């Protein structure tokens, strides 16, 4: 057995790490739950190629680069083709399937997608519905999740249903994290450092370093200290 060349192995590991990082950025952002079967298999094979290349003593950096480049190029080409041609997209990614239609289970779609009733119930429960009688439509997405449209009787009422006045949605702005002020967000929140310090003092905290997290929403400041006993609720 050949002795390991730690210098060469270290160089290959660094190169492989950055090669995968660049390739991941080039192929775009996709959450694990959004991976199609083709994406999942491609990721496994790419990792296997890189792993074997790194620990093969007869493989050099250029061979690793070649393996990553060729496989990444193929995956990238498939992604471009699937965006331009709908037929290719359906072949690679599949298509959504309606598994519950007008409150009735579509057994043919369950069989075609290799899903049984127990798995369907599990997917439905993950959406917050515990009885199939509550579901009007359920669509099995290409990533294996289920999108649900409940029956009107079981749907959550919105502001329009309750005839409430419309309000603009706002995002909270993080101002302090781990005892440090995020100065870039102060202008977004329309508040100065002095005003922020004054507000956190009203919560019984006199040093920014004692604040674990603070956010501003609709002019109201939420403060969470490192120690709960340090805060005074003055809402």
Domain shared by 84 and 116, yes or no: no
Is 15 inside any structural domain?
yes
Q: What is the reported pLDDT for 171?
A: 82
150/103 Cα distance (integer angstroms): 9
Domain shared by 115 and 192, yes or no: no
Q: What is the reported pLDDT for 196?
A: 94
149/96 Cα distance (integer angstroms): 14
Domain boundary pick from 37, 65, 91: 91
Greater confidence (149 vs 64) lies with 149
Tell me the helices (H) and strands (E) count for the chain, helix number first.
Answer: 8, 8
Across the chain, mean pLDDT equals 79
Greater confidence (8 vs 131) lies with 131
What is the mean predicted confidence (pLDDT) over 60-80? 75
pTM: 0.56
pLDDT tier, 197 (very low <50, low <70, confident <90, very high otherwise): very high
Q: What is the total count of domains within the chain? A: 3
Which residues, 6+ apart, have CB-to-CB distance to 11 below 8 Å?
Answer: 61
Domain shared by 49 and 102, yes or no: no
* 27-31, 50-54, 155-159: least confident range: 27-31
Is 42 inside any structural domain?
yes
Residue 124, CA atoms < 13 Å, CB-side half-sphere: 24
Domain shared by 84 and 101, yes or no: no
What is the mean predicted confidence (pLDDT) over 135-156? 88
| Block residue for tokens 């993950």 | 126
Domain shared by 221 and 150, yes or no: no
Domain shared by 13 and 87, yes or no: yes
Domain shared by 10 and 68, yes or no: yes
Which residues, 6+ apart, have CB-to-CB distance to 37 below 8 Å?
Answer: 94
What are the tokens at 161? Answer: 């249903």
Supply angle C-alpha 118, 123, 125, rounded to 5: 95
Residue 8 above 80 pLDDT? no
Is 159 inside any structural domain?
no
CATH number, domain of 116, equals 3.30.240.20
Residue 222: give the domain boundaries: 173-230
Q: Are strands 104-105 and 211-217 parallel, antiparallel or unpaired?
A: unpaired
Residue 235 above 50 pLDDT? no
Alpha-carbon torsion (13, 19, 20, 21), positive or negative: positive
Is 131 inside any structural domain?
yes
What is the mean predicted confidence (pLDDT) over 12-35? 62
Q: What is the reported pLDDT for 98?
A: 93
* 164-168, 183-187, 230-234: least confident range: 230-234
Phi and psi torsions of 193, nearest 5°:
-60, -40
pLDDT tier, 175 (very low <50, low <70, confident <90, very high otherwise): very high
Domain shared by 82 and 11, yes or no: yes
Is 85 inside any structural domain?
yes
CB 215 within 8 A of CB 221: yes
């Amino acid at each position: 057995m050949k002795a390991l060349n730690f210098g060469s192995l270290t160089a290959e590991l660094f190169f492989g790490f950055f090669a995968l990082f660049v390739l991941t950025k080039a192929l775009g952002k996709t959450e694990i739950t959004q991976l199609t079967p083709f994406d999942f298999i491609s990721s496994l094979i790419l990792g296997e190629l890189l792993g074997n290349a790194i620990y093969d003593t007869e493989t050099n950096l250029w061979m690793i680069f070649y393996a990553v480049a060729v496989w990444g190029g193929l995956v990238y080409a498939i992604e471009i083709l699937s965006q331009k041609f709908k037929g290719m997209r359906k072949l690679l990614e599949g298509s959504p399937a309606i598994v519950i239609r007008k409150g009735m289970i579509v057994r043919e779609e369950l069989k075609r997608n290799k899903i049984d009733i127990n798995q369907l119930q599990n997917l439905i429960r993950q959406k917050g519905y515990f009885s199939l009688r509550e579901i009007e439509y359920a669509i099995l997405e290409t990533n294996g999740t289920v999108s649900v449209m409940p029956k009107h009787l079981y749907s959550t009422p919105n502001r329009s249903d309750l005839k409430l006045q419309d309000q603009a949605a706002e995002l909270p702005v993080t101002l302090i994290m781990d005892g440090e002020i995020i100065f870039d967000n102060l202008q977004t929140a329309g508040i100065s450092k002095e005003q922020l310090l004054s507000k956190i003092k009203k919560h019984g905290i006199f040093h920014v370093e004692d604040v674990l997290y603070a956010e501003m929403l609709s002019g109201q400041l939420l403060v969470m200290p490192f120690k709960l006993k340090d805060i005074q609720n003055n809402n």
